[in-house]
Structure 1
Amino acid sequence: MRMRPTLNWVPDGDLPPGTADWEPVAEALGRGGVLVLSGAGMSTESGIPDYRGEGGSLSRHTPMTYQEFTADPQARRRYWARSHLGWRVFGRARPNAGHRAVAAFARHGLAPGLITQNVDGLHQAAGSVDVVELHGSLDRVVCLSCGTVGARRELAVRLTQANPGFAPVAAGINPDGDADLTDQQVGDFRVVPCTVCGGVLKPDVVFFGEAVPPQRVEQCRALVREATSLLVLGSSLTVMSGLRFVREAARAQKPVLIVNRDPTRGDRLALTRVALPLGQVLTDVAERLGVRVEGPPAA
């Protein structure tokens, strides 16, 4: 039996301090060949909370684990009720300045590689291409029986039809698209099956307690080998799925730079940690390098 994952990491108090000096980030990007690894903090300026920062969702919410989802029909009912509501909020989120800056760095050949731990699709919405979605995407659903992959928007229509009038007010929305609802609000929410085989549907994301597909991990490792440096944006690096790439870059003696307001599990391996808001830092760096960042799309 796999152990329940540790969802909180507490710094031991002797980590290198953060800084307000983003010049090393500009120097690394100016040399080109940077691999970006982004986490939940990348999307906070788009209105999606992170897990562990100030007011992070783990203070009030424990994410669904793969073991709970597959073993307990009532857990799936709760998940899909909350996720169905959260999906509507995710659909309204828009890329922020940080997402747009990352896309601009790629267009200029400065940061051609991008791995994201996020499942919100905001990097692609900002114009990034060839994004490796380490933990999958909420845009897709997969059948656990026959493996059929479908569009989340189509499932949303089916869930709406199966649950007319379902419109509770959530206490909050989490980085995994899971809304905070009570059991009373979930009520008798109806879950719909796979249209191909009648099997159980799951969002095409990696739940806590579930392994990232090995071929995806190897794809990321190849990007680390090709990169000149690794730039971590908005990740606490608490879980091994992201931290392992920091460790691999450090072993290869490639500079690791982190932009995150709070301490991270990778700080001891990093050249620097810039403790400033991501959008501000990346916009300033872009201006310093003469990189034009596209504005937000017209409403």
Structure 2
Amino acid sequence: MRMRPTLSWTPTGDLSPGTTDLRPVADALSTGGVLVLSGAGISTESGIPDYRGEGGSLSRHTPMTYQDFTAGLQARRRYWARSHLGWRTFGRARPNAGHRALAALGRHGALGGVITQNVDGLHQAAGSEDVVELHGSLGRVVCLSCGARSPRSALAERLAKANAGFDPVAAAINPDGDADLTDEQVGDFRVLPCTVCGGILKPDVVFFGEAVPHLRVEHCRQLVREATSLLVLGSSLTVMSGLRFVRQAAEAGKPVLIINRDPTRGDRHALARVTLPLGAALTTLAGRLGVSLDGEVAEAG
């Protein structure tokens, strides 16, 4: 079996300055075996807001924590009312040029997998395979009592019937699918139980204050071990759930490349941080590798 050439480098510990030069990323992709770690920034061009950066939702919005959600009915009423409204935005979101280019690069054989911190399902909708949803998916619901999982669309239909006429105007929609509503707008929104056992329903996502499942983390660590390099797309790497894989790759001497507009917590481990918009950058990279997009051959950029 022909062995893939190995890329290696030693991190300097200095912050990686921003650049618009895509050559290091193109070189890594041409080698193959690139593991992608994506964050909210890749979905902003699909109309889903980012957590951080200019205008990021964390400047005005505190996400629901697992502890708050499980503490009492009123917290769950507030969450499900806001999430039910926000789900309409997520349900309408479609993959953008970045998602589509990444899926095409995967079909081309340039990637060793995709780990996403996003819960929107847009990578899969674009055609990417072998996607690990690090923080779960808003497209599923899980019962905290019996563990039964069901499609979010089914719960959305039940909630719509149980809360006929509920149609407030949200101040904003956040990356976790939570709409900004006042307590008055939430009102007496009706929360529904599991249809199997009557237990508490929760979106199948990792809330703030909740740990990523151990087996999922270990699977991601194995993907890092098998990868030739790690490409971070649209993540500030502020939370440890993603940063740990950057550190693992760097400690193993594997190149870390980042495409993100703003500085990230992982810059000191990176060979380069490209500051170009993700849709344009990934489309250009596909073009340089001659990768077909939507049945057409991408033009070299």
Q: CA deviation at 1:112?
A: 3.0
Match of 1:238 in 2: 238
Match of 1:6 in 2: none
Runs of 4+ in 1 over 4 A off after TM superposition: none
Match of 1:179 in 2: 179
Match of 2:68 in 1: 68
Match of 1:96 in 2: 96
Deviation sequence 1:140-179 (CA, Å, 0-9, x none): 1011011111110110011011100001111111111111
| Counterpart contact for 2:65–2:210, Cα < 8 Å | yes
Match of 1:15 in 2: 15
1:288 aligns with 2:288: yes
Match of 2:119 in 1: 119
Please tell me the residue identity of whatever aligns with 1:227: A
Please tell me the residue identity of whatever aligns with 1:27: D
Q: Secondary structure at the match of 1:137?
A: strand
Q: CA deviation at 1:17?
A: 1.9
Please tell me the residue identity of whatever aligns with 1:157: E
1:142 aligns with 2:136: no
The TM-score with structure 2 as length reference comes to 0.92
Please tell me the residue identity of whatever aligns with 1:288: R
Deviation sequence 1:9-52 (CA, Å, 0-9, x none): xxxxx833211111111110011000000000010000000100
Q: CA deviation at 1:295?
A: 7.7
Superposition map of 1:249-264 within 5 A: 249-264=249-264
Deviation sequence 1:244-298 (CA, Å, 0-9, x none): 00000001100000000000000000000001110111111111111122289xx
Rounded to whole Å, the distance in 2 between the matches of 1:15 and 1:216 is: 30
Match of 2:56 in 1: 56
Match of 1:160 in 2: 160
Rounded to whole Å, the distance in 1 between the matches of 2:259 and 2:294 is: 21
Q: CA deviation at 1:73?
A: 1.5
CA root-mean-square deviation: 1.2
Unmatched tracts of structure 2, length 5 or more = 1-13, 297-301
Rounded to whole Å, the distance in 2 between the matches of 1:264 and 1:87 is: 29
Rounded to whole Å, the distance in 2 between the matches of 1:64 and 1:239 is: 16
| Counterpart contact for 2:112–2:223, Cα < 8 Å | no
Rounded to whole Å, the distance in 1 between the matches of 2:190 and 2:295 is: 41
- Aligned pair count? 283
| Counterpart contact for 2:20–2:275, Cα < 8 Å | yes
| Counterpart contact for 2:261–2:274, Cα < 8 Å | yes
Unmatched tracts of structure 1, length 5 or more = 1-13
Q: CA deviation at 1:72?
A: 2.4
Deviation sequence 1:94-134 (CA, Å, 0-9, x none): 00011001101110100131000000000000001111000
Match of 1:188 in 2: 188
Match of 2:105 in 1: 105
- Percent identity at matched positions? 80
Please tell me the residue identity of whatever aligns with 2:245: F
Please tell me the residue identity of whatever aligns with 1:106: G
Q: Secondary structure at the match of 1:118?
A: coil
Match of 2:28 in 1: 28
Rounded to whole Å, the distance in 2 between the matches of 1:288 and 1:148 is: 45
Q: Secondary structure at the match of 2:137?
A: strand
